[in-house]
Structure 1
């Protein structure tokens, strides 16, 4: 199989909802809301489509759909996370999953690979194995070349364009989290978790603004626990250079029935409350907020 030989992969692999007038230095991204499952992937899986969808950030792109009206682009993957995860390094691959030799530069020893959640995941949900047999290495490389690399090239261009226009850029990486799991004590799970890699990927003043805005909209908010941000937040966040990256995780129990992947009646109300967050982050004075934290340090 050649790197481009993915005849049933989603084409296009992603789309961008662009504003009529791009006025914002903020870029919104939904990398895990894709739901176009290639038939060959479904055939190779030992799981049915409902089980595979457990790793999806279902409807997250809709929750943040107000971005273009606020002057900011919203990018989203159309392929599912279970097929290819762009919130990983490009070659975080588990050699046990593949027939053939992986490239020598593949990261086969990361914590995420060990947990079954590399660039091409081995499991979904509660450690359910996805594949009934090993995949050809060429299949993995084809997914990376055909889907992963174009996705990141495009996301990089959107961020660079915002930075050129405004001298600063903010990436808001949009995700959802299960309503149960991740919390290690008896406290209820928060509505929102903001991740800034423990202060490394985004100015603290920007995160403070995000937290205040979400609390004003009636959400309970936590920072970095249990989700501090993944590869995207880490890779694109460089505050000293004017590039800020903030991950937001929305509790799925607020807006969807996780058992059947259906929107709850409260979906529209939750989306409306998040619209306030979208507008504030799209219109935030990022130059002042970003430099405020750097000056304090």
Structure 2
């Protein structure tokens, strides 16, 4: 909370889960650590704003099982990294069944998890108190595909509205206005500059807009409705992950302290974005 009140935001965390449904555990080829690292590792802890925002939606289902940030029509074999994966982000086969999961099982998973997640987001978006949606992710410090443009020079934050690098219209409808994107960029830079200190690579911007990610299915689908603006937020894992993941796969006490500090700064950034830095009350919904 900020000043005793919840922020009028819906937080979405689609890739923080690591659970495999019981019926699929025996055919999953990935280790628990591989599942964790294929997810947006520890983002359920990083973005744990349950008690600080009006609406909060997450899932414990692993991204490799059902990717909530993909269209339900984005299926293998056309896309091995689609809504139900056949391969992990680093290209490792997920299932012992060579062609992936049977179509009937895929449909069952989508109806049980994907439909439910987006129904909850729709309900949250329609809450009249909500003025902004933020779809929360983490990104690999270095892109998974070597040789792609900028694969080794990722920023600490990427914010996305499906536009160009200035947050302006490119070839897809914007999910949040450019002015909001620039304001958020300014606030992230201002509040995290001291936190990062001298560890920031000066060749890489602290915050970029729509680069390397322009926004996924969640911002596209829910932002296109025009009820509230939606922004995708990516945090570089270098900002919060230790060099070695504990054997427990859970954050250590020191990790939790760092995660909490980042979370507190983010909460202030969100508050300043909506209310202004002097704590002024917002007027109408942000548009």
Do the aligned partners of 2:157 and 2:207 also contact (CA within 8 Å) in 1? yes
User: Residues 6 and 51 of structure 2 are in contact (CA less than 8 Å); yes or no, is this contact kept in structure 1?
Assistant: no
Cα displacement string for residues 7-52 of structure 1 (whole angstroms, at most 9, x for unaligned residues): xxxxxxxxxxx99x87533111111001222233231123322223
Shift of 1:243: 1.7
Gaps of 5+ in 1: 1-17, 97-108, 292-297
| Aligned twin of 1:217 | 191
Deviation at 1:227? 0.9
2:34 is the counterpart of 1:51: yes
The structural deviation recorded for 1:288 is 6.3
Distance 1:234 1:208, change over 3 A: same
Distance 2:181 2:25 in 1: 39
- Mapped contact 2:71–2:83 kept (Cα < 8 A): yes
Contact 2:188 2:269 in 1 (8 A): no
SS at the partner of 1:247?
strand
Q: Distance in 2 between matches of 1:153 and 1:195?
A: 22
Q: 114, 136, 155: which is aligned to 1:174?
A: 136
In 2: Cα distance, 1:22 partner to 1:28 partner: 16
Please list the CA deviations of residues 176-206 of structure 1 after superposition, one character each: whole Å capped at 9, or x if unmatched.
0111116734874211111111141111222
Residue 258 of structure 1: CA displacement? Answer: 6.2
Q: Residue in 2 aligned with 1:153?
A: 119
| Residue 123, structure 1, aligned to residue 108, structure 2 | no
Match of 1:244 among 229, 250, 255: 229
- Counterpart residue number, 1:12: none
Task: Tell me, in whole angstroms, the C-alpha distance in 1 between the residues paired with 2:151 and 2:44.
Answer: 30
What pairs up with 1:30-179 in 2 under 5 angstroms? 30-66=13-49, 68-69=51-52, 71-94=53-76, 96=77, 109=78, 113=79, 116-133=80-97, 134=99, 135-161=101-127, 164-165=128-129, 169-179=131-141
Say which of 244, 262, 266 aligns to 1:273.
262
Secondary structure at the aligned position of 1:27 is classed as strand
> Does 28-37 or 262-271 show the bigger shift?
262-271
CA distance in 1, matches of 2:235, 2:33: 21
In the alignment, the residues of structure 2 paired with residue 66 and residue 165 of structure 1 have an alpha-carbon distance, to the nearest angstrom, of 16
TM-score (norm 1): 0.74
Q: 1:72 to 1:257 in 2, by over 3 A?
A: same
CA distance in 1, matches of 2:154, 2:177: 25
Is the alpha carbon distance of 1:61 and 1:186 closer, same or farther for their aligned partners in structure 2, counting shifts above 3 Å? closer
Which residue is 1:196 aligned to? 161
Q: Give the number of equivalent residue pairs.
A: 249
Q: Hey, what's the Cα distance between the residues in 2 that align with 1:31 and 1:128?
A: 21
Show structure 2 runs of 5+ residues with no match: 168-173, 194-205, 276-281
* Residue pair 2:228, 2:285 contacting (<8 A) in 1 also: no
Shift of 1:272: 1.7
1:26-83 superposed Cα distances (whole Å, 9 cap, x missing partner): 11111100122223323112332222333211211211224523x4332211111011
2-structure distance, mates of 1:176, 1:276: 16
Would you say the 8 A contact 2:11–2:135 is kept in 1?
yes
Change (3 A) 1:33 1:45: same
Question: How far off is 1:125 after superposition?
Answer: 3.1
Assess if the C-alpha contact under 8 Å between 1:213 and 1:280 holds in 2.
Answer: yes
Name the CA distance, whole Å, in 2 between partners of 1:214 and 1:267: 21
2:199 aligned partner: none
Answer whether contact 1:193 1:248 (CA < 8 A) is retained: yes
